[in-house]
Amino acid sequence: MHTITHHIAGAAVEATSNRYSDVYDPNTGRVQARVALASEAEVEHAIAVAKAAQPVWAAMNPQRRARVLFEFKRILDDRMDELARLLSSEHGKVLADSRGDILRGLEVIEFACGIPHLLKGEYSAAAGTGIDVYSMRQPLGIVAGITPFNFPAMIPLWMMGPAIASGNAFILKPSERAPSVPVKLAQWFEEAGLPAGVLNVVHGDKLAVDALIDHPDVKAISFVGSSDIAQSVYARASAKGKRVQAMGGAKNHGIVLPDADLDQTVLDIIGAAYGSAGERCMALPVVVPVGAKTAEALRERLITAIDGLRVGVSTDTEAQYGPVVSAAHKARINSYIAMGVEEGAELVVDGRGFTLQGHEDGFFVGPTLFDHVRPEMKSYQDEIFGPVLQMVRAETLDEAMAYPSQHAYGNGVAIFTRNGQAARAFAHSVEVGMVGINVPIPVPVAYHSFGGWKRSGFGDLNQYGMDGVRFYTKTKTVTQRWPTEGELFDQSLVIPRL
C-alpha cells in the first residue's frame, strides 16, 4: 500500500504530522492507499514556497504564461485515458464519466489560454485637459482552492486555470477521498513549464482548510462542497478580508410539460439523475411532471428505462454508472431512501441491497425512484447526492415552477417542452442560477460562468469565465498627465501621499 504525499515546490513532500486517511477502491471496498493529512506547519511551508515563486511568475508576460497553459492542455489531451483510469480508481465513476470530468476542466484551461486578451484593461484618452485614464488587472498574489471528491479533475482545473494564468500562485487542498489526480495535474503543469512553487497541493482535513483561510498571505479562497461548510468558509474567510467564492449543494428540478417529447425527456432525465451515481451538484434528482396524464406516462417510461440501466465497476464500458465513493456515503444514501418511505412517499424502485457479483463489498447503490413526493418531506428538502430520483407532481406550470423557486437550493433547473413562450417565461422567472431548456444538466460553457443562487452559492463572483478572471485579479486605475516642458503643475491635480 502506497502513501500519497503533498506536492510542494515541485517535489513530493512526506508528511510530518503522522496523520493519514485511507483511500478506498469503491469497486471493491478495499483500502488501496493512504493520504497524508497536513499539519499547520506544512500548510505554512506551502504558502512560503508560493510566496517566493509568485512574483517571478506574475512578472512573466501573459503571452508566455499562456504558452505554458497551451502545453499543459496538450499533455492532458495526450494522457486523457491515463488520468481517467486513475480518477475512476479512487472515485468509482465509470471511465466515460471520468473523461467527461477531465474534458469539462480542460475547456476552462482552453479559455484561460486567452489570458493576454482577458487581462486587457480600459483606456480613456483626454478624460481631462491633457489627462488620460487607463486600468489594468493585476494578480492577487497567493490564492487557494478547496475542492470536493466528486470532480477531482474538473473543479481543480476550473480554479487553477484562471488563477495561474492571471499570475497568481495557487495552493490546492483537494478531497482526501480522491487525492491522486490533483497531484498528477500539478506534476504535469510543471512538466509543461510552470515554475516550481507556483502550484502546490496540500492534502488535509479541517485543520488544513482553517490554516489556509486564516493565513494573511492567502488573498482569496475558492471552495466547492456542501452548503453548510460553504457558508462557514465564506463567513470565516470574508471576515478576514479575503475574496471568497463558496459553492454549495443543490436540489435541481426537471419540469416536464405535457407537450414534451417524453422519449427524449426520459433519456435526458435518466442520464442526469443516475449518471456518476448522482454524485454531482448538477445532477437532476427531482422531476416535476405537470398534469396527471403527463405524470403517469412519465412514470411508466422511467420504470422501463431504470430496468434497463446497467450498474457496474468503473472499468465496465457497458455500465451507465459505478459505485459511490465510500461506505459511509452509501449508508447515508440508504438512510435517505428509508426516510422517504417513512415520510409517506411511494418507493417505486428500491436500490438498496444492490450487489455486484464478484464485488459484493463494493460501494454500490442501485437506481431508486420515488413518486408522490411532497415538498414538506425532509428527503425532498435535503441533497441526497446519490442515484435517487424523486417525482413531485404538479397541476400547473406555476405550481411546478414554485418548487425550485421556493427551495433552499438554487443551483440548476431544467424545463422540457416544445412551447417556446412557456420556456422563455420560465427561464426569466424561475429563482435558480442556471437554467436548461431541454438541456438536463445546464452547466455553462467555459467562456460563461458557473454559479448557483441561494444556499447553492456564497459570494459575488462565479467560477470560471470572466467571473473567474475577475475573482483572481484586482483592478488598478491610473490617471496620468504629462505637462509640457516648463509648464507648472496645477497643485489641485497632485495626489497626496496616503
> For residues 25 and 279, what is the distance between their CA atoms, to the nearest angstrom?
16
Asked if residue 139 lies in contact with residue 166, where contact means CB atoms within 8 angstroms, the answer is yes
Q: Distance between CA atoms of 475 and 186, rounded to whole angstroms?
A: 28
281 carries an active-site annotation: yes
Cell of residue 412, nine digits: 440548476
Q: Nearest 5 degrees, angle CA 119-CA 121-CA 125?
A: 160
- Separation CA 178–CA 400 (nearest Å): 37
Catalytic residue among 9, 281, 319, 441: 281
Nearest 5°: phi and psi at 52?
Answer: -75, -35
Q: What would the grid cell of residue 401 be?
A: 415552477
Cβ-based neighbours of 179, under 8 Å, separated by 6 or more: 4, 23, 35, 90, 152, 203
What does DSSP say about strands 243-247 and 457-458: parallel, antiparallel, or unpaired? antiparallel
Q: Count Cβ atoms below 10 Å from residue 229 Cβ, excluding itself.
A: 18
Q: How far apart are CA 110 and CA 112, in angstroms?
A: 5
Asked whether the beta carbons of 237 and 50 are under 8 A apart, the reply is: no
Q: Do residues 283 and 273 lie in contact, with contact meaning Cβ atoms separated by under 8 Å? A: yes
Hey, what's the cell of 449?
460562468
Amino acid present at 331: A
- Kindly list the catalytic residues: 281
